[in-house]
């Protein structure tokens, strides 16, 4: 997974931002924060997770499909991505 290596810093920054949002959610729930605000925070965390997914997917496509020399391996990886998206992108 060389692309994760290359993009590691960027991906770790994103996943830590998501971790921060989820920690803030936990504090908000513990502190009985206004639930309209909690709903907005949850939607923002979902958006941040989507951003992380797109970043990893982009790298995965680039390395395991685009840069892959074997058409058979390319086909297998591409189909695995479609299977993932069937549930993820509903």
Residues near a copy of itself (CB under 8 A) are 1, 3-5, 8, 11-12, 15-16, 18-19, 22-23, 25-26, 29-30, 32-36, 38-40, 42-43, 45-47, 49-50, 52-54, 56-67, 71, 74-75, 77-82, 84-90
Q: Are 34 and 25 in contact (CB under 8 A)?
A: no
Least separation in angstroms between residue 23's CB and a copy of itself is 7
Q: Are 59 and 4 in contact (CB under 8 A)?
A: yes
Least separation in angstroms between residue 79's CB and a copy of itself is 7
Angstrom CA distances, 80 to 44, 56, 61, 73, 85, stand at: 27, 14, 11, 11, 9
């Amino acid at each position: 997974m060389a692309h994760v290596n290359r993009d590691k810093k960027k991906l770790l920054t994103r996943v830590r931002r998501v971790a921060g949002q989820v920690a803030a959610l936990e504090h908000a729930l513990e502190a009985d924060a206004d639930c309209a605000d909690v709903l907005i925070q949850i939607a923002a965390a979902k958006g941040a997770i989507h951003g992380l997914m797109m970043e990893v997917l982009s790298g995965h496509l680039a390395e395991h499909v685009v840069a892959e020399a074997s058409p058979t391996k390319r086909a297998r990886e591409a189909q695995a991505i479609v299977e993932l998206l069937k549930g993820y992108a509903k």
